[in-house]
Structure 1
Amino acid sequence: MKDIKRGSWIAVLCWAAWALAGANGSKGRAADWPTHQGNSQRNAVTEERLSLPLSPVWVHQPRYAPEPAWPPPAKQDFWHEESNLAPRVDFDLAYHVAVAGDSLFYGSPAEHAVHCLDAGSGALRWSFFTEGPVRFAPVVRDGKVYFGSDDGNVYCLKAAGGELVWKYRPASDDRRLPGNGHMISLWPVRTGLVIEDQTVYGGAGLFPDHGVYLFALEADTGKEVWKRSIPQPAQGYLAADAGALWVPSGRTGMMAVALRDGKDVGSIDTCGTYLVATQGRVFCESSRYQRHLLIRGALARPDHFVTVQEETAYFQGPREIAARTLAPYVQRTTELARQRSRHKQLSEELKKAGTRDPAKAAALLAQLDTLQKTIVDLEDQVENKSHLWRRKDAPAHSFVLAGDTLFCGRDGRVTAARTGDGAEAWTAKVAGRAYGLAVAQGRLFVSTDEGSIYCFESGQPAPLQTVTAPAPTSPYSHDDLGAAYAAAAETILGQTPDRKGYALVLDCGEGRLAYEIAKRSEFRVVGVEADAAKAARAREALAKAGLLGRVSVHHIPKGKLPYPQYFANLVVSDGAVVSGELPMDWSEILRVLRPYGGVAMFGGPRLTTAAAEETLRAAAVEGGRVLSDRGAWVAVRRGPLAGAGEWTHQYADPANTTCSGDTLVRGRMTPLWFGQPGPRDMIDRHNRTMAPLWKNGRLFVPANERVIALDAYNGTRLWEVDVPGSRRLGVMKDAAHMALADDLLYIAVADACWGLNVATGRREVVLQSPPPEGSGKYQWGYVAVVGDRIFGSIQKSGASLNRQGNMCPILEGDFRQIILSEELFSLDRRTGQTKWRYAGAIPNSAVGLGKGRIYFLEARDGAPAARSLDGRIRIDQLFSGPTFLVALDAESGRKVWEIPLRLPFQHIVYLCYAPATDAVLLSGTFNGKVGAEDHVFYGLRTFRSDTGVLLWEQDIAAGIINGTHGEQWQHPVILDGEVLTKYFECDLRTGNTLPSRAFSPGGGCGTLSGSASAIFLRGGNPHMFDLQSGTGAALNHVSRPGCFVNIIPAGGIISIPESSSGCTCSYPLQASFAYVPTEIAQ
């Protein structure tokens, strides 16, 4: 019998025994489909019957395809040997609809809107625009439409005309940030609402550390009935049944609260956003890999969808469609789960008994044999004796039951099967994957991932009517004022180095300057307007222009802006163009303006040069100047942040300190932005690729044979370039393949090094490594850049690990191989001219630069290193012969000094230069004993950088031997006069150990990164330890960083680009994040 991994099925939890008393929720009128999946239970059942065959009547094609909030997962999890991973957060892959009477409603993330269509023709009736994406289908009840938005509000509209009845904001504060590609609330309403007994239920927030709320509102008035905080994100379509509200959380477990007061009544340790709550049972995803079904922890077939009608359950899976009588099926699978659990328990007891207690072992074996027969019998009952019928079938993306017909949405088609036997009775083609189905008013509605919404009806086929969104048109008159706005936009963009990112338009008015800037750039434009009526008119106009969504207009009273520090590449004022009046609160403008080139520019034809100069003098703003161009302008370009650090090499710098030196990252932190890139194009976390790099406001993320450049302050994807042959894995045993200068990002590829323009990604130069003296194929290994010099190494082709897979047997544990170079060299990075070469057997992980010298370890003739045929070798073998620490002059390659060494290292070796003490540090690990216990020891050897004289040495007992969570390869952080790892701290001047601070919260397999004020590490979630206060805390409780260096404190912020790719553990959000100190953000 094959073992099935824990938690790999749809969960059907029979919770009626402990649920609150209460009737099943209302199912809505049979003729309507008033909410996603038809009713509050989300069971996708309607009594309405459709007469087959159906014919397509119309297709509605919106202006934009859906914009899912979260990127798809990795394609595989190598550690668990699972491929074709299914997305677990998939609520907005299509425009799901609600239908009431002759009206159809859907929300649009791309347009920040809810649209109402004529259900009979697909024609647009009205649109209502919000201040952020609308990701869930509305709920329609008693002539009103209810929905939530990423702008942090719940809305109630009149269904007939879309007029606002009321809106409600669950959070007490209005704080916004770039999230999932839009400027949204820190507390987005990311749940599909539920209405039960004239009460609206919903949830808001993704970051429990900053507040996540569940709430209940009076449906007629929006008055709050109750509100409470919860310790996990609220994300997905809520479901209500038997007096309880079920709350999905994305990639982690869901909880249940009482409808009447919000108190906890249960939870399920499961994951995903698919949820059905009906007849006292809860069906939900619990798979780490695919969408499957579980009953009280029992493993059933890997079904994707379920719908229940009375005592019959219909299941749609990857290979079959089936009908089962629910009660005996639940009973058998529950018993099967119990017996499997008992089998596992007895197996553990047998392991403990072993050969020490033969009699007990024999008895346990007999019990296990009997139990195995019972399990096989139960499996047969579940598999073969629980069906009313079953048929082979293809996978589906949606599944509903209408009368006696089961409709399935599939790739490029929709099908119908009869409930009597499952035989296919009808099929029709659609464009895209059919993720959404609804049956109402005699029609079948199909929503696809391409954005199309189809309507099918019974009757004779007729020509399909295609209803498209109107072509974008200019919403403003072509008059002198329009010409002035156009000229202003040209002037502003002429002074702005960026064309991507975020532009903030103050005093936005009716959106005319925002419109002109958006037309001429790729900025996401955020307009701020204190007059609600003007803001509404601006949204209407920008929607007509096809720009609403990329341009958002926020109604914000005068005063403090709700946006985070540093996010805006450009800040301008519409009001200044019209009136010539300039903003007076420069502190707020500079607070939100991006360092390293962000531009604030105010003026226009009505501003005089004298007034502009007086404003600049009064404001006393650094970097400001007055320009004359079709009027006068005050322009401020923000420079670098004083005290901000950078991260230009794998371990922060060419010296390998793993410390950015950033003095600004300290205290409590708050989210700055989150979203892309996601896990799909990243290297698997256990394969441990190199760290992201950071300089001058740009973040460079190493992806799978690709590099992605982001604006570090708002997450905008600036460019991405495919770099075939660049993948490098197991970086702790090797050297990284990228290094960063002011102008170029250098990437080692085969036997060369590409230089990519940091602003555009354009390949400006290809530097060729010097030809090797020996025969055979070689590649570029080590890479570092200092000034106009680039430093590299030559290694055997294929020496660096580059094939993704389960690499834990290669990287984890003791006595693993490291990568070896055969020559170091230096080139002029401008001309490519070779400046010097040095031949020797040199481990890639033990090369560093500092004080004008390059330092490295070298194994001399007679050592096994000289006989390494593939460029890989165990460290204990490498150091078994003559070994030297060598220093060369970095400019000329002249040998400054060398000293012979005897090193005990067996697992890893690192070299760092410590600027504060002008010393070279060697760090490595080996096995030893403390009393009778085996331990991994960290050996530290420190030398004067000018002479190589040994200053001190120290061996420190640390983790367990042969560990699998980085016990052997922790890279040190060099912070002023100290060396730190998660196991110990030492004084770099004396070698004395210091009182160790509890950096590690446990469970972390990465290594430390540091700033001047803090230490960062993986401990399940990303953690920060503040060195000034001596306290540590998780930056969040919703994500996981990568398994090596992934948390980058630089530029006054913390950047954590996605690096958990392939991880299927239960945590809510898998994306990229950035954080800013709370005291600055506020």
Structure 2
Amino acid sequence: MIMKILLPLFCAAGLSALAEDWPMWRHDVERTAESPQVLTDELSLLWSRELPRPVPAFNDVRLQFDGGYEPIVKGKRLFLASNREDKIMAFETNSGALLWEAFADGPIRLAPVAWRDKVLFGSDDGCFYCVDAATGKEVWKVRPVPSARKLIGNKRVTSVWPIRGGPVVQEDRVYFAAGVWPFEGVFIFCLEAATGEQIWVNDSTGHLYGGQPHNAVAIGGIAPQGYLLIDGEELVVPSSNAYPGRFDLKTGKLKDFKLPLGGRVPGGWYTSLAGKSEEKKGKRKSLLADMGINYVRHEDRLRYEGKPEVRSTIRAGDQEIRFANGYEKVPGKVHSMVVADDKLFVTTAAGGLYAFGSGTQAESRRHEATPPPPGKATAFSSQLLGEIPRHGYGVFLGSVDADTLVHLASETSLRLLVVEEEGRRVRALREDLSRAGIYGSRVAVWQHDPAGFEMPPYFADFVLLREEIPSDERERIFESVRPYGGKFIVQHGEELETRLRAGALPGATNYHGDFKPSLDELVKAPLGVLWFDDTLGHFKRSPQPKVIDGVMITTTKDWLDASTRTMKVDYRLLPPNFSDVYTGRVLSAEESALLKVQAAARVDLKTVQPSQYRPSNQKNAWKPEAPVAGHRQNPLTGETEARAFPKSYGCDGGFDYGHIYTMRSGTASFYDKRIDSGTINISGPRSGCTNSIVPANGVLSLPYFYKGCTCSYPLPTGLAMYSLPESHEQWTTWGRITKEKLAGKIQRIGINFGAPADRMTESGTLWLDFPSMGGPSPELDLVTVPAKPRSYYHHSIWMRDDAGLPWVAASGVEGMESVTLRGLKPGSYRVGLIFANPASDERRFDIQLQGQTVSTDFNLGSRLTAVGVVFDGIVSEGSLQVALTAKKGATQLSGIEIVPMDLAE
């Protein structure tokens, strides 16, 4: 049978003289989706395939940058990325035959780029790959962010810095972005496409003090998710749910980035430039948004931004092709289309892939998916089923056969992770599990040494170790086992040795949602992301979450049903939800029914609820009072004073949990009272109008309290955070104190040259950024020569030794001759100087303190290695001067710490 498709468009006669490529998402670097390829008005179906249905990272359409298969075509090959099975697939364009598959260690969520005879792509595993277009064999691979730290991202084990800024190639350079959480660090890269060698990186856009929705201010930044594009001499980087940023294409320097300041403006992941069919105006083209993506219901009404059908329209020559028209013999919703190789290729939301071409063909070729083989029980799988739980996450550290994994997947709802080092076994296992239909979505394989594999803490319901390793490594692995019943299993031959992680983490608390203190000893600054996901959404003014014995209990309001309310903003409740506080996993009905916390989850489904939930000290539900959180010792002067900290707009008012004060201050935020940390912004998500940032069970939980809001917070999702070592980079806004109030009183201080904001340490030193960039900060009477030495900042993750304070050493000033700090309290001090060479050159200089030479020919040492020197008994009558005299190369200084001798350790 001949199946034909009539294009509903303006047609040009005949085919283009040469078949055209479609080498990247939406065809070109501007993402115009315009090809010079011309198609006939009558196309026949040549072949089709049914691929596994894609699994987007997020439920929210404004974040669904990976909502379906996005084909690219180079020559006679079509390439697809799979977010479900963690691989790139190559097909022959004439027949649809599968040519090769190339796997990564994590989901590949964005379309690759075909460049010359190579294919380039990034993965949630944090690596960027280049493979041969003909064979799929690896040409080069880099992990651009030098850290193996991982988390649970959208139900998968991923790098903390997944590559979700989709690649674009121009003039033999590839551009992409890694990291999605501004406060964890985000990185915009330019690499040589041929070799993977780094040309430039921008790592400074995660800690920008500036505007937030509702005209608030906070430390925040870009959250790269979506496809990068090139507009002339600028690189445009999408920022998840917010507006994109613009960077200098040659240097990577940030040129423009602002969040939507007004409330209720719906942003989204999609951006592109108008093509040649639209007139170019000025030096920049207008960035286009798609109304179908930026279209969401606020509590009061539907809101939108952008033009209709921008993403779902392409052009082939003079022909305009709209996805919405659908096509004969293409069932379901069209997700994407591309025109290349004299053909039209179509993908559907369900995973269909269709190729249409000219001419007559007796019958199209249909590539049927092979039914997966039934799972076969093995002796090992049967043994394990008597030991392991049926739900959650499980990890195998060491080799395991495919039959065992298939059987476990069929008998449980576990998500399984296998860590195997040997490449051939990894490849065979991935292919077997893919044929079984469970790879990626149920079972994933990371190629790595099992003993050294770094995992998130607390997430695994069981970890099975299949090889002998030292006891200290076992203890490190045990940290990944879930409290409240997780199991660490060590295999000795046919015997299994099981260690149970029973009960709570030592020092952790429960929280019953009653606005009472939760003195969790484990939740302390700095904090990093443990998991994030938006599966479980809640109305923005829902009741507080409860966190009990590893389970979060949440109840949302029935805000979409007008019959449930009596006034404009009052609603009834829906039944409670149960989720794992350590992974965000929504518990099944079977699990929930067995929980001992059922009594705590009982809710009244009939009574209309109050519009807001507030602690008893908040008298006005709609205009909360300013935070009141006791007294503190000022770290600069030692004086006792009322505790005060910056708080910008946030309708929750904040709540004091005892050790931690949490609030929305522009972004979700917290203040660690134990060290008087200042306000630490968790930029990206929106916390609730109800205080929904809860320290309990050893983590800081921020459930997804965003439904009914359209404000363009960059990354509205649920997450949890856990404490990290003090070497971890995390910035704060400490609050303004005038230099007049500090005059003659400063007795302890750290000066952090080039830093983006302030930072408090456990030892009691408040490090202040100079020049001041990170919001309200104590004012310093500080003079440098020259007046404005060149300052710089790089993320501390690059430092080669994380001993000490790498977030001080990672920034600095160059070429400074002297610096004088006034306002010190007279006395004797320990003065510490921190240096680190940001380059690879040789640098030597003399160091003077208070006019006396204390070091001659000081050698700055190797690149990105911190060097600290300490001098005791430095007498000050109210000021301190540090002078640097260059001998070879430019001088450099990262930080100065001044501590009175009676407090020096």
- Give the structure-1-normalised TM-score: 0.56
CA change 1:741–1:1011 in 2 (3 A) is farther
Q: CA deviation at 1:563?
A: 1.4
1:674 alignment partner, SS class: strand
Q: What's the counterpart of residue 603 of structure 2? A: 748
1:1008 aligns with 2:654: yes
Match of 1:215 among 158, 174, 189: 189
Q: Distance in 2 between matches of 1:274 and 1:47?
A: 23
Q: In the TM superposition, what is the alpha-carbon distance from 1:1071 to its structure 2 partner?
A: 0.9
Structure with bigger gyration radius: 1
Cross-structure match for 2:523 = 665
Supply the distance in 2 between the matched residues of 1:1074 and 1:117 (Cα, whole angstroms).
40
- Work out whether residues 175 and 186 of structure 1, in 8 Å CA contact, stay in contact via their aligned partners in 2: yes
Residue of structure 1 in register with 2:735 after alignment: none
**Per-residue CA distance 1:82-128 (angstroms, 9 max, x = gap):** xxxxx332321110000112211111111011111122232322111
Q: Equivalences for 1:643-1042 in 2 at 5 Å?
A: 643-648=507-512, 650-651=513-514, 656-657=515-516, 659-679=517-537, 682-683=538-539, 685=540, 688-703=541-556, 704=558, 705-719=574-588, 742=597, 744-750=599-605, 798=607, 800=609, 910=616, 923=617, 925=619, 964-967=622-625, 982-983=627-628, 985=630, 995-999=641-645, 1001-1042=647-688
Q: Does the aligned pair in 1 maintain the 2:553–2:601 contact within 8 Å?
A: no
Q: CA deviation at 1:265?
A: 3.4
Are 1:1010 and 1:1049, in contact at CA under 8 Å, matched by a contact in 2? no
Secondary structure at 1:193 match in 2 = strand
Q: Which amino acid aligns with 1:545?
A: A
Tell me by how many angstroms 1:460 deviates: 4.2
Give the 3-state SS of the residue equivalent to 1:528 in structure 2.
strand
Residues 924, 34 of structure 1: alpha-carbon distance in 2 compared, 3 angstrom cutoff: closer
Deviates more, 1:160-169 or 1:694-703: 694-703
Q: Say whether 1:541 aligns with 2:537.
A: no
Structure-2 separation of matches of 1:154 and 1:924: 50
Q: Is the 8 A contact 1:149 1:190 kept in 2?
A: yes
Q: Does 1:457 align with 2:350?
A: no
Bigger mean CA offset, 147-156 vs 1028-1037? 1028-1037
Distance 1:527 1:398 in 2: 38
1:396-434 CA distances to partner (integer Å, 9 max, x unpaired)? 761111012100001xx43xxxxxxxxxxxx53533322
Please give the alpha-carbon distance, in whole angstroms, between the structure 2 residues aligned to 1:513 and 1:1011.
Answer: 46
Which amino acid letter does the alignment assign opposite residue 195 of structure 2?
Answer: T
**How many Å separate the matches in 1 of 2:726 and 2:486?**
17
Secondary structure class of the residue paired with 2:48: strand
Letter in 2 for 1:663: E
Asked if residue 42 in structure 1 is aligned to residue 37 in structure 2, the reply is no
> How far off is 1:575 after superposition?
4.2
Question: AA paired with 1:702?
Answer: T
Equivalent of residue 126 in structure 1, options 100, 106, 125: 100
1:276 aligned residue (248, 272, 275): 272
Structure 2 equivalent of residue 257 of structure 1:
247
Q: CA separation in 1, counterparts of 2:688 and 2:429?
A: 43
> Which residue is equivalent to 1:242?
232
How far off is 1:247 after superposition? Answer: 0.7
Q: 1:250 to 1:401 in 2, by over 3 A?
A: same
Contact map agreement 1:285 1:291 (CA 8 A) in 2: no
Contact 1:602/1:634 (CA < 8 Å) preserved in 2? yes
Q: 1:586 to 1:113 in 2, by over 3 A?
A: same
Q: Is the 8 A contact 1:582 1:603 kept in 2?
A: no
Is the Cα contact below 8 Å between 2:700 and 2:721 reproduced in 1?
Answer: yes
| Partner Cα distance (1:400, 1:530) in 2 | 44
What residue in structure 2 maps to residue 1044 of structure 1?
Answer: 690
Deviation at 1:699, TM superposition (A): 1.2
Please list every run of 5 or more consecutive structure 1 residues that lacks an aligned counterpart in the other structure: 1-27, 73-86, 293-300, 306-316, 318-394, 415-426, 608-630, 724-737, 751-778, 780-797, 802-806, 812-844, 846-907, 911-922, 926-961, 968-980, 988-993
% same residue: 30
Amino acid at match of 1:399: T
Query: 1:173-225 deviations in whole A, cap 9, x for unaligned?
Result: 11111101111111111022111111111111011222211111111111111
- Supply the distance in 2 between the matched residues of 1:1080 and 1:1033 (Cα, whole angstroms): 17
Checking the alignment, whether the CA contact within 8 Å between 1:191 and 1:235 is kept in structure 2 is yes
Other-structure match for 2:150: 176
Contact 2:19 2:342 in 1 (8 A): no
Cα deviation 1:290-348 (Å, max 9, x = unaligned): 649xxxxxxxx98956xxxxxxxxxxx3xxxxxxxxxxxxxxxxxxxxxxxxxxxxxxx
Distance 1:966 1:90, change over 3 A: same
Query: Aligned match of 1:404 in 308, 318, 326?
Result: 318
For 1:1050-1076, what per-residue CA distance to the aligned partner results, in whole angstroms no more than 9, with x for missing partners?
A: 110011110022222222111110001
Please identify, of 508-517 and 202-211, the stretch whose mean Cα deviation from structure 2 is larger: 508-517
Q: Residue 71 of structure 1: which of 55, 59, 66 is its match?
A: 59
Q: AA paired with 2:547?
A: W
SS of equivalent residue, structure 2 residue 642: coil
SS in 1 for 2:682: coil
Give the Cα–Cα distance (whole angstroms) in 2 for the partners of residues 163 and 799 of structure 1.
61
- Comparing 583-592 with 168-177, greater Cα deviation is found at 583-592
Q: Alpha-carbon deviation of 1:663?
A: 1.7
Cα distance in 2 for residues equivalent to 1:523 and 1:602: 19
Partner of 1:188: 162
Cα distance in structure 1, aligned partners of 2:580 and 2:381: 22
CA distance in structure 2 between the aligned counterparts of 1:159 and 1:257, rounded to whole angstroms: 30
Question: SS where residue 43 of structure 1 aligns?
Answer: coil
Contact 2:533 2:718 in 1 (8 A): yes
Q: Secondary structure at the residue paired with 2:429?
A: helix
**In 1: Cα distance, 2:342 partner to 2:291 partner:** 38
| Native 8 Å contact 1:152 1:187 kept in 2 | yes
Task: Return the letter of the residue paired with 2:241.
Answer: R
Question: Quick check: 1:596–1:639 contact (8 Å CA) kept in 2?
Answer: yes
The aligned residue for residue 1067 of structure 1 is 713
The aligned residue for residue 1055 of structure 1 is 701
Aligned twin of 1:385: none
Cα drift, residue 474 of structure 1: 7.2
Are 1:148 and 2:122 matched, yes or no? Answer: yes
Contact 2:624 2:652 in 1 (8 A): yes
**Matched residues in 1 for 2:721 and 2:226: separation?**
25
Asked if structure 2 preserves the Cα contact closer than 8 Å seen for 1:275 and 1:282, the reply is no
**Matched-pair contact (CA < 8 Å) for 1:1000–1:1017:** no
Amino acid at match of 1:32: D
Question: What's 1:790 paired with?
Answer: none
Q: Deviations over 1:119-168 (max 9, x none)?
A: 22323221111111111111112111111111111111111111111111
Change (3 A) 1:304 1:49: farther
The 8 Å contact of residues 271 and 289 in structure 2, kept in 1 or not, is answered as no
**1:958-996: CA deviations, max 9, x gaps?**
xxxx884434xxxxxxxxxxxxx7146499xxxxxx953
Shift of 1:447: 1.7
One-letter amino acid of the counterpart of residue 665, structure 1: V
Question: Is the 2:575–2:603 contact (alpha carbons within 8 Å) kept by the matching residues of 1?
Answer: no
SS of the residue corresponding to residue 88 of structure 1 reads helix
Contact kept in structure 2, 1:1023 and 1:1032, CA below 8 Å: no
Per-residue Cα deviation, 1:908-947 (whole angstroms, up to 9, x for no partner)? 994xxxxxxxxxxxx574xxxxxxxxxxxxxxxxxxxxxx
CA deviation profile, 1:208-243 (whole Å, cap 9, x unmatched): 222211111111111111122132122111111312
The structure-2 alpha-carbon separation of the partners of 1:431 and 1:708, relative to structure 1 and needing over 3 Å to count, comes to farther
Alignment RMSD? 3.3
The one of 153, 172, 177 equivalent to 1:203 is 177
Partner of 1:552: 444
Corresponding residue for residue 590 of structure 1: 478
Say if 1:71 and 1:678, in contact at 8 Å, map to a contact too: no
2:892 maps to what in 1?
Answer: none
Aligned residue pairs total 652
Deviations 1:571-598 (A, max 9, x none): 102447xxxx897732112211110000
Superposition deviation, residue 457 in structure 1: 2.1
2:508 is aligned with what amino acid? Answer: A
Contact 2:525 2:677 (8 Å CA) reproduced: no
2:714 aligns to what SS in structure 1? coil
The Cα of 1:531 is off from its aligned counterpart by: 3.2
